Amino acid sequence: MKAFNITVIHESAPMIVAKAQEELVERMDPGFWDPKYVDVTKQLLDFGAIPLREIAERPVSGYRSGKLEYKAEGPIAIVKVGDILNTGVDWSQVDFLEETSPANTPNRRINQGDILICRSGEGGAGRGKLCLAYTLKFPSCVHGHVYRMGISKGLSPYVVIFLKTKFGQLQIQRCISGVGVPELDADDILNFLIAYPSEPIPRRVAEEYTKLGEYHSRAIEAKSKMLKARKHGNTTAAERYQVEYERNLKIARAMLNDLIRQVEEIIEGKRTEIEPVDCILKENQS
């Protein structure tokens, strides 16, 4: 991806920009050329960022050709936009499919370590919604509004954290700028610039991600027990599990936000190493 020249004539809505005609083949809508997007591209190129396509498989979306028949139980879970939390997949209320469902094809099956990206849908692409499939509670496939993307071994945690930083989120917002219905294209995703620092930063991010991943898993397990207790009318148990769910999810979110902050500071040159995210627990206790 190259840097572009841009002249801003009027920044407030409606924004007016001046571009050379040969550069307008990329995108015609002025929002795409908003200075905040151009600036982040320049900053990433100065960092030596690489296109995501160099370390990622082509994103594959779920079945979109017709209506699917969902079940409360079954051999194959289907992960939809609503099942994707910032900290991971919410397995507590996923729908299921039969083995013979047209949505259950090998290329749509989720592998542990895949990145799940909302390509469209309510509260999905427009909010840059994505997560890491840290663990798989069930054999699963992606819904039509969700991409699954495999990443080079060991790099998934760093890539998903980077895409959640302002540097990743601004690239997502740029791609859907000027689009009527927010929707991410697979080629756009592959063209995202990834600020990929040298080791040990990616490895340290992966190590710290396991901590928040464990708290996310505990939260979802508690939520599953809470829903089961409610179904059986056990109010006392349901309330206990709800407290456990909310506590663990809060910790996972705090760790995630801390990791995002640290990666942003690495890119901005404000720090040189990744500190343990469980320092948050010690701070809260003190």
* Mean per-residue pLDDT, 69-77: 95
| pLDDT one-digit tens code per residue, 154-179 | 899 999 999 999 999 999 988 886 55
What gap in Å lies between CA 109 and CA 156, rounded to an integer?
17
Identify whether 218 is part of a domain. yes
pLDDT attached to residue 121: 63
Domain boundary among 105, 140, 162: 162
What gap in Å lies between CA 188 and CA 282, rounded to an integer?
41
* Mean per-residue pLDDT, 233-238: 98
pLDDT attached to residue 182: 73
Identify whether 9 is part of a domain. no
Q: Which residue has the tokens 């469209």?
A: 120
Verify that 70 and 134 share a domain, yes or no: yes
- Give the range of the structural domain holding residue 209, as residue numbers without chain letter: 201-285
The candidate with the shortest Cα–Cα distance to 80, out of 67, 91, 69, is 91
Verify that 83 and 136 share a domain, yes or no: yes
What gap in Å lies between CA 47 and CA 45, rounded to an integer?
5
Identify whether 190 is part of a domain. no
Q: Rounded to whole angstroms, what are the CA distances from 116 to 58, 131, 192, 201, 257?
A: 12, 5, 15, 22, 18
Tokens standing for 214? 């464990």
Give the up-direction half-sphere exposure of residue 282: CA atoms within 13 A in the CB hemisphere: 4
- Residue 127 pLDDT > 90, yes or no? no
Full-model pTM: 0.85
pLDDT attached to residue 183: 86
Tokens standing for 81? 């936009």
What is the count of structural domains for the chain?
2
The domain that holds 144 is classified in CATH as 3.90.220.20
User: For residue 149, is it left (φ>0), alpha (ψ between -120 and 50) or beta?
Assistant: beta
Identify whether 269 is part of a domain. yes
